[in-house]
Chain A
Amino acid sequence: MPRLTTRERRERYEREYSFQKRHGKPFFPNAVFHDTIVSLVVVALIMGMTILWHAQFGGVPGEGTAERIGGLLGPAYEAKADPGVLGYDPRPDWYFFFLFELLRIFKTPELLIVGSIIIPTIWMVLLIGWPFIDRNPDRRLSRRPIALALGVTVPIVLLALTFYGSKAPGAAGAVSNEPGAAAFAAGSCSTCHTLANAGTAGNVGPVLDQAMPDYARVLDLVTNGQGGMPAFKATYSEDEIKCLAGYVATWAGATGTTPGPNAASAKDVYPAACAKAGGLFAGTAASAAGP
């Protein structure tokens, strides 16, 4: 279609549209009838999901802060949030899965911002600005090859990202047997940090195998927090923190069973502190049966 001047475009549009309106039908009752049916179907669907969700609830848990389990559509509620809880694998609601998956694709620290900021920003700008980008005046799909291609690819990409995001494994992977590994993997550290020895792939905080902090630094960060890193002094005991710090200092940047470059900085406390802390901290992978 040839490019039109602004005035031609307006006149043409007005001619066509007033013609269609003149030969149209009144909004009420025709369109209103269809609208009502679809609205009723949608409300029935929502109600149906709610009833199915509710029908599969387990009993009300006796313990004050426990989860009430459900069926196909998930629990009524999970256990009450506890910032110090061991072993939670965070997952967003399904409509953020595509973002979750993007972050898994770009998970190295240098690339992280591509998935977290750059792609979503480009996407939002394209979304809002789309009417100014697509200047083709034709509305028939056969004459809009680029729009058609996008209209097919974008949903497929989004669906694929959502699908893989939904199947993304939890943060905890294969845990080594070193003291402290299980606590690191099962604890919230795994949510945010990648540490090969503990088999974790969190991508909120730095990749510890690359940061390779020494003992004093880990001790300080875990105790007091910094920036996006929470403080754990209220969550873990002193020995537990020493154990985690010793573990990270020793095994960050490790290759196989050869400890990392900062192992020496922790040799006075690690693994002794882990034995003192006991439980999951002293234990091996076998005792770390996180979710």
Chain B
Amino acid sequence: MSTLLPPPAEIAKIPVDWVEERSGLISFGKFMLFRNVPKDISWLQTLGSALITVFILQATTGIVLAMYYQPDPDTAWNTIKFITDDATLGWLVRGMHKWGSSVMVVLLFLHMGRTFLFGAYKYPREMTWITGAIIFILVMGMSFTGYLLVFDERAYWATVVGVNINGTAPILGPTLSYILMVGPEISTHTLSRFYALHMLVLPSAIGGLIALHLWLVIRLGVTSPPWSRMQSNEGDV
């Protein structure tokens, strides 16, 4: 056996090649990074990636909060108090999650506004818009379910009112309120249900839809701005 090792750069390539050979992930990554985008895309087209950043931020801070939080009407508020007052940098984690949610809603509106004004939902990007629109509605669901979790006065009464608004719908309304609250009043079960929705059901649905949304964006490419002068002169219709 030879004692001669390949140069370091070659060694570093070994795991990369190993992964590439088995999954093709490396060439996919390269394709993603080095694919061409229209020359004149603008700053307005960075809002989507900012949303990914905020989503990741919400997920990370949310996981940390979940390590301390207890979804029980007797203790929920106390755990929030503990996170805010006592836990090391707890206020920072909770605050980033809280304000991150507001910023995310604003960014959603801006991103939606930009794709609307660019006409970016037109052929062939209809599905990109539709997945986005569903994400938007689910994010509003995140806000609604997250609001109760603090279990202070505001959280409690806003949720009572919110659930009862649902209840005004004909036929399905009262049933829907009942399902949301798990009974006629906000109770232990309501809190567990909101918690399960807020940290399991909705985030995984949103995560999955974001993946689909991004896949569509990569597959179809981002639109050039409608004011783009980049027209092929191979004859316009």
Contact across chains for B103 and A81 when beta carbons are under 8 A apart: no
Given contacts A46-B96, A147-B116, contact A124 B157 (CB under 8 A): no
State A19–B221 Cα separation when bound (angstroms): 12
Is the pair A124, B77 in contact by a Cβ cutoff of 8 Å?
no
Complex Cα–Cα for A204 and B164 (A): 6
Q: Mark B94-107, 1 if CB is under 8 A from A, else 0.
A: 01101110110101
Q: Which of A2, A45, A49, A188 contacts B237 (CB 8 A)?
A: A2
1/0 contact trace for B76-117 toward A, CB 8 Å? 011011001100000110011011101101010100010011
Closest residue of B by beta carbon distance from A112 = B168
Q: Is B46 an interface residue (CB 8 A)?
A: yes
Q: Which residues of chain B are within 8 angstroms of A92 by Cβ–Cβ distance? A: 147, 158, 161-162
Is B84 a contact of A76 with CB atoms below 8 Å? yes
Between B53, B121, B150, B167, the greatest number of chain A beta carbons within 10 A of the residue's beta carbon is seen for B53
A38 to B140, CA, bound (A): 23
Q: Is the CB of B36 within 8 A of A83?
A: no
Q: How far is the CA of A16 from the CA of B167 in the complex (A)?
A: 51
User: A115-137 vs B: 1/0 string, CB under 8 Å?
Assistant: 01100000010011011101001
Given A38-B47, A46-B103, A124-B137, are A54 and B91 neighbors across the interface (CB < 8 Å)? yes
Choose among B49, B73, B92, B150 the residue that contacts A39 (Cβ–Cβ < 8 A): B49
Say yes or no: is A15 at the interface (Cβ < 8 Å to chain B).
yes
Select which of B147, B151, B228 is within 8 A of A20 by beta carbon: B228
Cβ of A202 to closest chain B Cβ, rounded Å: 8
Residues on the A chain within 8 Å of B129, using CB = 130-131
- Chain B: CB-nearest residue to A95: B105
Binds A, one of B7-15, B27-35, B192-200, B204-212: B27-35
Count of A-B residue pairs with CB < 8 Å: 261
- Once the chains bind, are B43 and A27 in contact (CB under 8 Å)? no
Complex contact B49–A16 (CB within 8 A): no
Q: Do the beta carbons of B102 and A94 come within 8 Å of each other?
A: yes
Question: Which residues of A sit under 8 angstroms from B157, Cβ to Cβ?
Answer: 81, 88-90, 188, 191
Q: Is B20 an interface residue (CB 8 A)?
A: no
A117 to B176 CA separation, bound complex (whole angstroms): 13
Instruction: Flag if B49 contacts A80 (CB, 8 Å).
Output: no
Are B95 and A96 in contact, CB atoms less than 8 angstroms apart?
Answer: no
Residues on the B chain within 8 Å of A53, using CB:
95, 98-99
> Could you pull out 9 A-B pairs where Cβ atoms are within 8 angstroms?
A25-B37, A43-B54, A46-B54, A53-B95, A79-B152, A80-B78, A85-B153, A131-B130, A231-B185
Instruction: Add 8 more A-B contacts to A31-B45, A39-B52 (CB < 8 A).
Output: A21-B38, A25-B37, A49-B99, A85-B153, A90-B158, A112-B168, A131-B130, A141-B226
Residue positions of A touching B, CB distance < 8 A = 1-2, 4, 8-10, 12-13, 15-17, 19-28, 30-32, 34-35, 37-39, 42-43, 45-47, 49-51, 53-54, 57, 60, 65, 67-68, 73, 76-83, 85, 88-96, 99, 103, 112-113, 116-117, 124, 127-128, 130-132, 134, 137-141, 144, 147, 151, 155, 188, 191-192, 204-205, 225, 227-228, 230-231
